Amino acid sequence: MSAEFVRRYGPWCVVAGASEGLGAAFADGLARRGVHVVLLARRAELLDDVASRIRKERGVEVRTLALDLADPSFAERLAAGTEGLDVGLGVYNAAYSYIAPLLERPLDDTLRVIDVNVRGPVRFVHALAPSMVARGRGGVVLMSSMAGFQGSPRLAAYAASKAFNIVLGESLWAELRPKGVDVLVSCAGAIRTPNYLATTRKEAPGTLDAAEVVEQTLGALGSRSMIVPGGVNKLARFFLGRLVSREGAVGIMAASTKGLQ
């Protein structure tokens, strides 16, 4: 348990997209620090499984809210579901994506990417951050992606949505830091989650375990506006951002996404 972490970001945290993979790892990492957690996702059974394991292993309180993060009423339902809880940290890990050229998928698929990955974090912040500002402490973590640093063929909508989150998070960091609320954008590379392992034939260089991404992200909260977890990923970010042209970076991403299915 980290008493300082609980004092600054507790006693409750909300994790969106917590039914498996990185979101479940965030919930576990926060519970290990002594923070009670509220888990959000669509699939109630998976949420219940994660909640039961965390209660047993970490000894904290866990609540679950089965919500569709693309639903326009998401913010209101989240506010109602956390009423009476002193929420000091929100982690928006939820994301929706598909792997295909943009025009080869129905428009509704792309609009769902926007609903979950763009509108979702905005609603999330509006639901949780005002109470943090009012008490003068708290934090928000937005999970972005290295795909958001440049165009990513076959992930066009996803990459664009993650670029939105980078700029949103950096802006909120400047706006809320003077009010005592820390904001961090975590721009992760490939992560060993069930979804990633199901869509790739070969791991990308720099692929990390979910728990390592969580530890590096939470460790950076309060000290900066953005983090790229993993040494290999930091080098890749420097190379793509500084040493090659934008067009060259897009070409490299195109070669990378060919390995996804």
Just list the catalytic residues. Answer: 158
Whole-number Å distance between alpha carbons of 142 and 82: 19
Question: Packing angle between helix 120-135 and helix 156-176, nearest 10 degrees?
Answer: 10
What SS3 string covers 175-196?
A: HHHHHCEEEEEEEECCEECHHH
| 166 touches 141 (CB < 8 A) | no
Whole-number Å distance between alpha carbons of 43 and 61: 20
